[in-house]
Amino acid sequence: MIFQIWDIFQDFFDWIAESGAIMLILAGLIAITWFGYESKRRRSITKRKVDEYEFNVTKFLRILSYIGIIVGVFCIFSGAVSLLRNLPPSFKYEELYGPNAGANIFTSISLIVIGLICFLKPINDLPWAGIIGLIVGGIITFFIAISVPDQLVEVIAVFIDPRWVLGILFVLIVAIVALTVKFYISGLMAISKVLSWPPIALIIMLYCFIQGFSLWIFGFSVVPNLF
């Protein structure tokens, strides 16, 4: 049963690696949501600044941001694996250029870049410091809990419930990591604000759709392989 589940996951990720065109189209759909929301929030397509009272994050935006992050992971994975394994960006591309078509370097690199953009764009809208703090705190606390010898747990239990010790450690780790991430993330937040400008989203959307549908339906890239 475990091996069957693993085979399903392996087939799925193999498909993602060979479907760069579809990943671009999905990224284009995410860019549409950025363009629509940011245009409405700014009450203009070209306005750069956002009034503070207009900067409230809705649940709808949070959901879209999370979906964008998942699409970003798939884009980065598809771009990186296609380069490493020299895989074509679509089945139509392979059909057009033959079994030795190999990767389209331009498409692979653009997938990685757009995947990173999908990560950076939601930074201002999601509590990344808290999210990363919770993840790191949970992992460290888990490993501490399973690595502490039973004899030491019994000694600690004489003075205080070990669960309280783990709880305090978890809170401390979350707080330290969250504060550290918040300090270093300021530069990325500046990049996120630039990416939130509607014309940027429009450019990303147009590129993703043109390149994605061109590869998926016709099998050729708007920029040919130069390497």
Residue 44's CB is within 10 A of a number of other CB atoms, namely 11
Does residue 171 form part of some domain? Answer: no
Residue 157 lies in a domain: no
**Whether 103 contacts 224, CB under 8 Å:** no
How crowded is residue 72: how many other Cβ atoms within 10 Å of its Cβ? 25
Domain assignment present for residue 154? The answer is no
Q: What is the pLDDT of residue 55?
A: 46
CA 221/CA 39 separation, integer angstroms: 30
Per-residue confidence (pLDDT) for residue 137, from 0 to 100: 75
Per-residue pLDDT 10s for the chain (227 aa) are 444 555 566 677 778 888 889 999 999 998 888 877 777 766 666 666 655 444 455 566 667 767 888 898 899 999 999 888 888 888 888 888 877 778 888 999 999 989 888 877 776 666 666 677 777 777 777 777 677 677 766 766 777 776 777 777 777 877 777 777 666 666 666 677 777 778 888 888 899 999 999 999 988 888 776 55
Dig out the tokens for 44 from the structure. 């203009």
Q: Which domain holds residue 6?
A: 2-123+192-218
Has residue 227 been placed in a domain?
Answer: no
- Output the DSSP codes for 99-167: TT----HHHHHHHHHHHHHHHHGGGGTS-HHHHHHHHHHHHHHHHHHHHS-HHHHHHHHHHS-HHHHHH
Is residue 182 domain-resident?
Answer: no
What tokens appear for 219 in the block? 């099998």
> Does a structural domain hold residue 153?
no
Burial of 30 per CB tally in 10 Å (0-12, 13-18, 19+)? buried
Number of separate domains in the chain? 1
Indicate whether 166 belongs to any domain.
Answer: no
Q: What is the three-class DSSP state of 124?
A: helix
First to last CA, the chain: 43
How many whole angstroms separate alpha carbon 56 and alpha carbon 37?
A: 12
Side chain identity, residue 91 = F
* Gap between the Cα atoms of 137 and 145, Å rounded: 12
Residue 141 included in any domain: no
